[in-house]
Amino acid sequence: MSDWRDHLVILPVLLPLVTGALMLLFDERRRVLKALMGVAATLLLVAVAIALFRLVDVDSTQVYRVGDWPAPFGIVLVGDRLSAVMVLLAAVVGLASLLFSLARWDRAGPRFHSLLQFLLMGVNGAFLTGDLFNLFVFFEVFLAASYGLALHGSGTARVRAGLHYIAVNLTASLLFLIGASLLYGITGTLNMADLAARVPGVAPEDRALLEAGAAILGIAFLVKAGMWPLCFWLPTTYGAASAPVAASFAILTKIGVYAVLRMGLLLFGDEAGASAGFGREWLVIGGLVTLGFGMIGVLASQELSRLAAFSLLVSSGTLLAAIGVGDAAVTGAALYYLVASTLGVSAFFLLIELVERGRKPGADMLAVTAEAFGEIDDEAASEEEVGIAIPATMALLGLSFVCCAMLVAGLPPLPGFIAKFALLSALLEPNPIKPTAWVMLVLLMLSGLAAIVAMGRAGVRIFWGSQEGRPPRVRVIEMTPIVLLLAMSAMLTLQAGPAMRYLQDAADALHHPRGYIDGVLGSR
Amino acid sequence: MNELIVALAIGVLTGCGTWLLLRPRTFQVVIGLSLLSYAVNLFILAMGRLRAGAAPIVEAGAAANPAAYTDPLPQALVLTAIVISFAMTALLLVVLLAARGLTGTDHVDGRETDE
C-alpha cells in the first residue's frame, strides 16, 4: 500500500468530501475562493477518474479494503470498468454543472459549491462501493445533497416539487433498508461479492424470501432510475430545478440503472443457480412502458425543461429494457447509450436555461432570490461584467441546440445514433428474434421520432420565430460547459471503436462475475 | 411470545405509517415516515434473529463462542439507519415549513383540492 495507485479507488470519494468540508469553513461571501476550490477539486477529480479508467483496463478488479479488514468482514471499495466509466461520467457532468453555475447560479442560494461536492462524493461512492449497506449510506449522502440542490434558488415551484421529491425518496430509502436486511437475514452477509457467492446455495424454502428481498431492493433502485409507474416525481422535480442542478441530476437516474445492473447480474446472473434471471421480464416490460410513457411526455411537453426531463425517462426506459434482455452484447451497447444519453441530456438542461433566458421570465425568480441573499450581491455586482458576451449568440445557441437534438434523438453523426444502432443490432442478433425485441425496436424508433418532432417544434419556435427584444446575453463561462459536453460526445463518435471495446469488456465482466467475486473475496 | 410481540409491533407501525403517508397533510406525511422508519429499524433488528439476554460484544480475554452472543451487525445497521432517518426527517420538516410559508397551505400539493 505504498504506491499512490493503490489508493486510487478511494480518491473519488475522499477528494469531494474534503473539498466540500473545507468550503464550509469559509464565509459565504468568499465566493471566488470557493469557486476556485470547487473548480480545482473537480478538475482533479476528472484527472483521478481518468487514471482509474486507465488502471482498471489493465487490471480489471481493483479492491480497496477500507480499514484493512479482509473482504467479507470489512467494507471494500471495488473499482472495475463499469465503476470507472460511471465515475468519469459523473466527474465530467459535475465539472460542466460547476462551470455553468459560476456565471450566476451559484449566487442564487447558500452553500451551492459544498452541496455539489457532497453530491459528487455520494455518487462516486455509490459507484465504487462493494458493500450493500455502504451503498445505502452513499445513496443517502447524495440524496441529502440533492435535496439541498433541488431547492437551490428557492421559490414556490421548487419547494413544492422538492417536498414530493424528498418524501418519495425517503420512502424508497426505507424500502432499500427492508430489502437489504432481508438479504442479510437470508444469506448472512452484506458484501456484494459474498452475496453473489452465497445466492446459488440458498435453501429452497428460503428462496422465496430472498427473491422478495431482492424485489423490494429493486423497487428502491427503480424509483431512482425513474421506471414507470415510479417516475411521476421526476419530470416535475427536474423541470423545476435550476439549470446546473438539473444537469448534474442527469447522473442520478443513472445510479438507479447502475445499481439494478450491478446487483441484478451479481445476484441473479446466469451462474446464480435456481434464481438465475430473476426479475428480468419485469425489467423488460417496465422499461418498455417507461420508454412509451417518456415518449408521450416528450411530445406533450410545453416547456423545454420538462421535455428534457421526459427524455431522461426515455433513456432510463431504454436502458432498463436493454438490461432486462440479459445478453452481454446488448448490455455493452446499453452502456454506450448510457454515456451518450447522459452527456446529451445534461448539455440540453444547461442549454435550455440560456435559450429561455431571453424569452421567459425565468430570470425573475433569480432576481428575487439574489435579493434574498443581498449581502452576496454587492460583491457580485462589481464582478458582473467579467465575461464577455459572445457575438452571434443565437447562431451558437442554435448550433448547440441542433447537436443536442441529434444526440437525444439518436441521429448520425453523434453517438446517440451509434448507441441505438449497436443496441438494435445486438437485439436482432439471436435467432429467432424475441417478440420483445421487435416491440423495443419499434419503440426506440418512435421515441427518436418523437424527440425530433418535439425538439424541432421547439427549435423552430425559438430560433426561427420572430425575435422579441434582444438576443439573450450569454457568457463564455456558460457556453464552455455545453461545448465541453458536446465535444465529449463528438469524441465518443470518433473513438467509437475503443469506447465500444472498453464498454463491451465491462459488460462481459458483469455477465461473468466470477472475476469480480474472486477478486473481492481473494484479496489479501 | 417475543416474536409475536415484535412482529405485531412492526405490523402495526407499518400499517399506521403507510396510512399516514398517503394522507394529504404534510404533517401527517412526516409522522407517517417516522413511524415507517421505526418499523424498518425493528425489522432490521429482527433480521439478525431475536435473542434475549445475549450480548453483542465479545468479552475481552474470554474464549469466543459465537453461539453465546447475538449478531452485532444488525445493531450497527440500525444505529446508522436511525441517525440517517432522523436527519432526513429534520430536513423534511424544514422543507415542510418552507412550503407552508410559500404556498399558504399545508396540503402536500401546495394547493387545496376543489371540494
pLDDT grade for A366, boundaries at 50, 70 and 90: very low
Contact A181 B47 (CB under 8 A): yes
- The average confidence (pLDDT) of chain B is 86
Residue A465 clears pLDDT 80, i.e. is over it: no
Q: Give the model's pLDDT for residue B15.
A: 95
Q: Give the model's pLDDT for residue A376.
A: 44
By Cβ distance, the residue of B26, B44, B102 closest to A181 is B44
Rg (CA), chain A: 22
Q: Give the model's pLDDT for residue A243.
A: 86
Q: Give the model's pLDDT for residue A360.
A: 52
Question: What are the residues whose beta carbons fall under 8 Å from the beta carbon of A143, sequence distance 6 or more?
Answer: A122, A169, A173
Give the separation between CA B86 and CA A356, rounded to whole angstroms. 39
For B75, nearest residue in chain A (alpha carbons): A181
**Cα A476–chain centre separation:** 25
Q: What is the mean predicted confidence (pLDDT) over A8-19? A: 90
Angle in degrees, 0-180, between the axes of helices A243-268 and A328-357, rounded to the nearest 10 = 170
The structure's pTM equals: 0.88
Q: Among A1-5, A103-107, A319-323, B11-15, which stretch is predicted with the lowest mean pLDDT?
A: A1-5
Q: Give the model's pLDDT for residue A362.
A: 44
- The average confidence (pLDDT) of chain A is 84
Of A519, A505, A509, nearest to A191 by C-alpha is A519
The predicted-structure confidence for A36-78, as pLDDT tens digits, reads as follows 888 999 999 999 999 988 888 887 788 888 888 887 888 889 8
For B47, nearest residue in chain A (alpha carbons): A185
Percent of chain A past pLDDT 70, that is, above it, reads 91
Give B113 or B9, the one with higher predicted confidence: B9
Question: What are the residues whose beta carbons fall under 8 Å from the beta carbon of A465, sequence distance 6 or more?
Answer: none
The predicted-structure confidence for A128-147, as pLDDT tens digits, reads as follows 998 999 999 999 999 999 99
Least Cα separation, residue A47 to chain B (angstroms): 32
By Cβ distance, the residue of A151, A159, A181 closest to B77 is A181
Q: Give the model's pLDDT for residue A469.
A: 57
For B99, nearest residue in chain A (alpha carbons): A159
Would you call A121 exposed, middle or buried from its count of C-beta atoms within 10 A (0-12, 13-18, 19+)?
buried
Instruction: Show the cell assigned to B30.
Output: 412526516
Residue A492 clears pLDDT 70, i.e. is over it: yes
Q: Give the model's pLDDT for residue A13.
A: 92
pLDDT grade for B9, boundaries at 50, 70 and 90: very high
For A158, nearest residue in chain B (alpha carbons): B99
Residue A290 is which amino acid?
Answer: T
Q: What is the 3-state secondary structure (H, E, C) of A46-114?
A: HHHHHHHHHHHHHCCCEEEEHHHCCCCCCCEEEECHHHHHHHHHHHHHHHHHHHHHCCCHHHCCCCHHH
Give A212 or B55, the one with higher predicted confidence: A212
Q: What is the dihedral of CA A394, A396, A398, A399, to 10 degrees?
A: 160
Q: What is the mean predicted confidence (pLDDT) over A497-516? A: 87
The predicted-structure confidence for A267-297, as pLDDT tens digits, reads as follows 887 777 777 778 888 888 999 999 999 999 9
Residue B74 is which amino acid?
Answer: P
Q: Give the model's pLDDT for residue A271.
A: 74
Q: Give the model's pLDDT for residue A358.
A: 65
Give the separation between CA A350 and CA A479, rounded to whole angstroms. 9
Chain A residues contacting B via beta carbons under 8 Å: 133, 137, 140, 144, 147, 151, 154-156, 159-160, 162-164, 166-167, 170-171, 173-174, 177-178, 181-182, 184-185, 190
Q: Decide if A177 contacts A219 (C-beta within 8 A).
A: no
Residue A375 clears pLDDT 60, i.e. is over it: no
Least Cα separation, residue B95 to chain A (angstroms): 6
Residue A370 clears pLDDT 90, i.e. is over it: no
Q: Give the model's pLDDT for residue A183.
A: 92
Residue A389 main-chain phi, psi, to 5 deg:
-75, 135
Give A47 or A368, the one with higher predicted confidence: A47
Q: Which of A199-208, A233-242, A333-342 has the highest mean pLDDT?
A: A333-342
Domains defined for chain B, CATH in brackets:
2-51+70-103 (1.10.287)
Least Cα separation, residue A374 to chain B (angstroms): 19
pLDDT grade for A466, boundaries at 50, 70 and 90: low
Contact A160 B110 (CB under 8 A): yes
Percent of chain A past pLDDT 90, that is, above it, reads 25
Of A277, A75, A274, A326, nearest to A194 by C-alpha is A75
By Cβ distance, the residue of A140, A147, A178 closest to B84 is A140
Give the separation between CA A363 and CA B43, rounded to whole angstroms. 48
Q: What is the DSSP letter of A129?
A: B
Cis status of the peptide bond prior to A361, with omega within 30 of 0? no
For B98, nearest residue in chain A (alpha carbons): A159
Contact A184 B74 (CB under 8 A): yes
**For chain A, what are the domain ranges?**
4-360+388-521
Contact A159 B95 (CB under 8 A): yes
